[in-house]
Amino acid sequence: MAIEEDYKAWYDLMIRLNHMFDLAVDLFDLERQSEELAAAWGLEMDELARKLPHLEVREYLDEVNADFTERQFSPLSDVWEEALRDIFDKDEEL
């Protein structure tokens, strides 16, 4: 099993690039492809678990998922801008 085009990785990368460079690239198609890829892999895992139950695929994936925390991108530029503005505004008051 292999992923030829990892749309999820490209989607996550483009979200960050959009934010960092203020690109405003429409990511709708990439997001849709990412969701389709995740759904297809889910079906592949289900099929593998059904065909080879002795591998305990579901149990293994549940164990991996229990130890995994996905960190969603959350733009913090506003927080940093506000913090820097507060610092520099205080310096000007002195």
Please give the pLDDT value at position 66.
95
Predicted confidence pLDDT, tens digits, the chain (94 residues): 777 899 999 999 999 899 888 899 999 999 999 999 999 999 999 999 999 999 999 999 999 999 999 888 877 756 667 777 788 876 555 4
Please give the pLDDT value at position 84.
73
Three-class secondary structure of residue 77 per DSSP: helix
> pTM score, two decimals?
0.70
Instruction: Let me know the angle formed at the C-alpha of 40 by 35 and 41, rounded to the nearest 5 degrees.
Output: 100
